[in-house]
């Protein structure tokens, strides 16, 4: 990673984020959207964005800056997409992987600690999704 990417990852690293999510889930019930949609606009923004992407069942997506993985899991669950999420922050990736396992979605959604590069959008990827820039 470049120095800038390292600084971005350090900025977003929180301490014990998964235990905070666990505590919030226990007190709020099982709707993860308020915790899982770690971006401006929350679930409504993800739904609106999904509509603009014209998603189709079986479409392969690359979610750049995937954070905790809420939108990636939404695209998989509600639109039948196969999603790979990448994020600079190791803690986000670890939590995204854990939440995805808990929800039994490992076959449709995966996460990697990685930086975006044009090569990340391979010929097998139907859409590259860089949500933070939209």
Domains of the chain (ranges; CATH) run 3-133 (3.40.50.150)
What is the per-residue pLDDT across 18-67, written as a single tens digit (0 to 9) for each?
777 767 666 655 556 666 776 777 788 888 888 888 899 999 999 988 98
Q: Is the pLDDT confidence value at 96 over 60?
A: yes
The phi and psi torsions of 36 (rounded to 5 degrees) equal -85, -25
Q: Which of 1-15, 47-61, 65-79 has the lowest mean pLDDT?
A: 1-15
Measured distance CA(85)–CA(93) in Å, rounded = 8
> How high is the pLDDT of residue 61?
92
pTM over 0.85: no
Measured distance CA(13)–CA(102) in Å, rounded = 22
| 2-15 burial code (b ≥16 CB/10 A, e <16) | eeeeeebbeebeee
Measured distance CA(46)–CA(74) in Å, rounded = 8
> How high is the pLDDT of residue 41?
79
> How high is the pLDDT of residue 133?
40
Residues of the chain with pLDDT > 90, as a percent, come to: 36
């Amino acid at each position: 990673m470049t120095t800038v990417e390292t600084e971005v990852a350090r900025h977003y690293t929180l301490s014990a984020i998964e235990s905070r999510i666990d505590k919030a889930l226990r007190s709020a019930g099982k709707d993860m959207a308020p915790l899982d949609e770690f971006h401006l606009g929350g679930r409504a923004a993800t739904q609106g964005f999904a509509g603009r992407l014209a998603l189709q069942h079986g479409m392969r997506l690359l979610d750049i800056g995937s954070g905790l993985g809420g939108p990636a899991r939404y695209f998989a669950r509600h639109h039948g997409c196969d999603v790979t999420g990448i994020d600079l922050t190791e803690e986000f990736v670890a939590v995204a992987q854990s939440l995805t396992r808990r929800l039994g979605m490992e076959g449709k959604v995966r996460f990697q600690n990685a930086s975006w590069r044009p090569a990340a959008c391979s010929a097998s990827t139907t859409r590259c999704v860089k949500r933070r820039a939209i």
